[in-house]
């Protein structure tokens, strides 16, 4: 891992969740497993490469991107807690470094902390494919309330908003933009690519 920065925190997720987080300008708390020592709040990594792997947790069949936030700005407004995630036996998950949890039910006014939204434009384009949207609705990774035709229109609106966002690829980590390969996206000649695999 070469993208360690004390300045930034990284959150990887599926493309539709990525679009909705940016559109709502809000990041909600992560999954809490009810362990006594476990902090509650939105979860991040100090490494872009680690955050990229969480795309597959969100959409094992699809693609996604990474939200990059300014750690120092977050520290001024919230408590940040380092946490090592463990399995049911209390053993740390292999190959998963410490997470950083922002102790709050949600981070509102996300643009205040936003450095960049890292996502390949070709992924945004393919995400508008109704077949991919149907897969998200049936498998996982659909953050919108509506489904069917209404949900597809809502999803397209969120994707359009992300495509025009001023922070889209405003800064790209040296490891590159994550691509899982699940959608057959062709390698970019414009951006460095990080191949994300299970």
| Residue 74 burial class via C-beta count within 10 angstroms: exposed 0-12, middle 13-18, buried 19 and up | buried
Task: Give the number of domains in the chain.
Answer: 1
More confident residue, 58 or 69: 69
In a domain, 125, yes or no: yes
CA distance 92 to 150: 42
In a domain, 143, yes or no: yes
CA distance 152 to 49: 30
In a domain, 75, yes or no: yes
In a domain, 3, yes or no: no
Q: Are 5 and 44 a contacting pair, CB within 8 Å?
A: no
In a domain, 2, yes or no: no
Report residue 122 CA to chain centroid gap: 17
Residue 98 — pLDDT band, cuts 50, 70, 90?
confident
In a domain, 54, yes or no: yes
Domain that holds residue 86: 8-195
Question: What average pLDDT is seen over the chain?
Answer: 88
In a domain, 185, yes or no: yes
Q: What is the pLDDT of residues 22-65, one digit of tens each?
A: 999 999 887 656 667 778 889 999 999 999 998 988 888 889 99
pLDDT of residue 3 exceeding 80: no
In a domain, 12, yes or no: yes
pTM: 0.90
Backbone angles phi, psi at 182, to 5 degrees: -65, -25
Q: Are 61 and 10 a contacting pair, CB within 8 Å?
A: no
């Amino acid at each position: 891992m070469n993208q360690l920065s004390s300045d930034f925190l990284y959150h990887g997720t599926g493309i539709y969740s990525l679009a909705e987080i940016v559109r709502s300008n809000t990041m909600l708390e992560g999954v809490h497993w009810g362990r006594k020592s476990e902090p509650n709040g939105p979860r991040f990594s100090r490494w872009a490469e680690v955050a990229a792997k969480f795309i597959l947790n969100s959409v094992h069949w699809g693609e996604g991107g990474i939200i990059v936030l300014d750690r120092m700005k977050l520290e001024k407004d919230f408590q940040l807690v380092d946490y090592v995630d463990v399995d049911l036996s209390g053993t740390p998950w292999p190959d998963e470094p410490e997470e950083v949890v922002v102790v709050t039910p949600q981070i509102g006014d996300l643009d205040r902390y936003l450095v960049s939204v890292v996502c390949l434009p070709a992924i945004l384009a393919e995400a508008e494919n109704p077949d991919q949207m149907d897969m998200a609705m049936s498998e996982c990774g659909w953050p919108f309330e509506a489904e069917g035709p209404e949900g597809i229109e809502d999803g397209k609106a969120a994707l359009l908003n992300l495509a025009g966002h001023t922070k889209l690829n405003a800064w790209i980590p040296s490891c590159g933009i994550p691509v899982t390969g699940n959608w057959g996206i062709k390698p970019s000649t414009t951006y460095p690519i990080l191949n994300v695999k299970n």
